[in-house]
Amino acid sequence: MEKQNKERKKTTKKTTMNQKKKIILNVIIVAVLIYVVYAIYLLIKEPTNIFTIEEGTLYQEETDIGYVIRKETVVRGNNYKNGMEQIKAEGERAAKDENIFRYYSTNEESLKQKIAELDEQIQTAMTEDTSIFSADIKSLEDQIDEKLKEINEITDVTTLTEYKKEIDNLITKKAKIAGDLSPQGSYLNQLIEERKQYESQLNSGAEYVKAQMSGIVSYKVDGLEETLTPDNFGSINKEFLENLNLKTGEIVATSEEAGKVIDNFACYIATISSSEEAKQAEVGDDVKVRLSNNAEISAEITSISQENEDEVLLILKVNEQIEELINYRKISFDLIWWDETGLKIPNEAIVELDGLNYVVRNRAGYLNKILVNVTKQGEDYSIVQPYTTEELKELGFSNEEINSYRKISLYDEIILNPDLSEVE
């Protein structure tokens, strides 16, 4: 019996010890959890209460849909059904009355084939006659070899065409000299004469089309060249633009029948806006346009008309990125009313007092109230800078106050939502 009592006491004691251990362990776990929660709170709280000042840019902008308007002249010849060969490549500049493309002549492929066959016969005849030697022929051969080396590094279609013509001319000259010196001269001259006749037929049947004005050559013809033109600004309105049924960002297709020359000095973007900035804008205002390729270009408002109570039609003139805009007729773009670069801070760090703006700077735990000049203010951020001595004088500060004026600077730490009553 006594043994059983001892065992029971021993078991009870062990149970009590285990319970104490569990309580201690639970207390430790709770303490750790409290510490972790507090640490997380501090980590979250610290960044939201303090902001480090950095250099930044503030934009007042909006995203709009624009219609591209250009001064452009479509050029088309009579033989447009024959197909065309570009002389000036897309985006290349041309002078007035310069050939920009040509239409193929009738039976052009057949004539080209006959000329190619004659070229082979001429080359064979010259190769077989080893008695021919002339310094002029040697010089021509050197020129041909040099052109052939250069042509391997050329990718521009127009330049390749010019090189091919030069090589053909050099080969023809070589053949003519060889014909005069060779015992087979009559045969060579006959081949050369026959080639000239085919080439004459080829050239006489081709129709060359010239630029009617100087500018950028393009083959992206959409039929709106005489509709969306600077001459028609007076007839452009929201209904007119919407009735064009154009797709935003669609690339204008390349024509196989016509080309055009575009004024390379300026083009225009018409857009409808309902923003307050648009309603307050004036003709002559300078703005910026950000295109889909992220290029920011300067623009000028050249025309404003009220569409209705909420919307304004703006026409913007741009002098850059005209080659990029050739590809499109309707675009999405960012209209930037203004941009300011400087010390960028959150608006919630600024406190207004007696018509002046202040921030609270934290340096090693010491808080100071700093007067700042807000140069631009957006929805969430502002651009600020220190006041100059002259500006402080104009605000009525004394010399003593000016001498003790603390300036805000890059990488200063400022307090968000500060309480000025708790600051020096």
Predicted confidence (pLDDT) per residue in 381-417, tens digit:
999 999 999 999 999 999 998 898 999 999 999 999 9
With respect to residue 96, please indicate whether it lies within any of the assigned structural domains.
no
Which residue has tokens 């950095």? 54
**Strands, E, within 236-292: which ranges?**
259-262, 267-273, 286-290
- pLDDT for 119-134, tens place per residue? 777 777 666 555 544 5
pLDDT of the residue at 116: 75
Range of the domain at 233: 63-74+224-340
- pLDDT for 342-384, tens place per residue? 999 999 999 998 899 999 999 888 888 999 999 999 889 999 9
pLDDT, mean of residues 91-110: 85
Residue 360 and residue 380 share a domain = yes
**Strands, E, within 40-104: which ranges?**
50-52, 54-69, 72-75, 84-86, 93-94, 99-103
pLDDT of the residue at 392: 92
With respect to residue 369, please indicate whether it lies within any of the assigned structural domains.
yes
pLDDT of the residue at 204: 59
pLDDT > 70? residue 152:
no
pTM score, two decimals?
0.66
Residue 239 and residue 181 share a domain = no
Q: DSSP string spanning 343-386?
A: EEEEGGG-EEETTEEEEEEEETTEEEEEEEEEEEE-SSEEEEEP
CATH number where 240 lies: 2.40.30.170
With respect to residue 354, please indicate whether it lies within any of the assigned structural domains.
yes
Work out whether strand 215-218 and strand 259-262 pair parallel, antiparallel, or are unpaired: antiparallel
In a 3-state reduction of DSSP, which class is residue 218?
Answer: strand
With respect to residue 32, please indicate whether it lies within any of the assigned structural domains.
yes
Residue 362 and residue 336 share a domain = no
From CA 188, how far away is CA 23, in angstroms rounded? 115
pLDDT > 50? residue 263:
yes
Residue 417 and residue 323 share a domain = no
Q: What length is written for the chain?
A: 424
> Do the Cβ atoms of 79 and 278 come closer than 8 Å?
no
Residue 378 and residue 317 share a domain = no
From CA 352, how far away is CA 184, in angstroms rounded? 102
Residue 365 and residue 336 share a domain = no
With respect to residue 200, please indicate whether it lies within any of the assigned structural domains.
yes
pLDDT of the residue at 37: 67
Residue 329 and residue 243 share a domain = yes
pLDDT of the residue at 157: 55
- Confidence at 176, pLDDT banded by 50, 70, 90: low
- pLDDT for 211-243, tens place per residue? 999 999 999 999 999 999 999 898 999 999 999
> 386-389 contacts: CB < 8 A, separation 24 or more?
none
Residue 228 and residue 180 share a domain = no
pLDDT of the residue at 27: 73
Residue 192 and residue 136 share a domain = yes
Residue 199 and residue 158 share a domain = yes
With respect to residue 83, please indicate whether it lies within any of the assigned structural domains.
no
Range with top average pLDDT, 14-23, 116-125, 311-320, 392-401: 311-320
Per-residue DSSP letter, 328: B
Percent of the chain with pLDDT over 90: 52
pLDDT, mean of residues 108-112: 66
Residue 180 and residue 252 share a domain = no
pLDDT, mean of residues 266-285: 95
| Chosen domain end from 177, 205, 233 | 205
From CA 289, how far away is CA 299, in angstroms rounded? 7
pLDDT > 50? residue 19:
yes
pLDDT of the residue at 47: 47
Residue 197 and residue 158 share a domain = yes
With respect to residue 147, please indicate whether it lies within any of the assigned structural domains.
yes
Cα–Cα nearest to 369, from 359, 355, 384, 356: 359
Domain count, the chain: 4
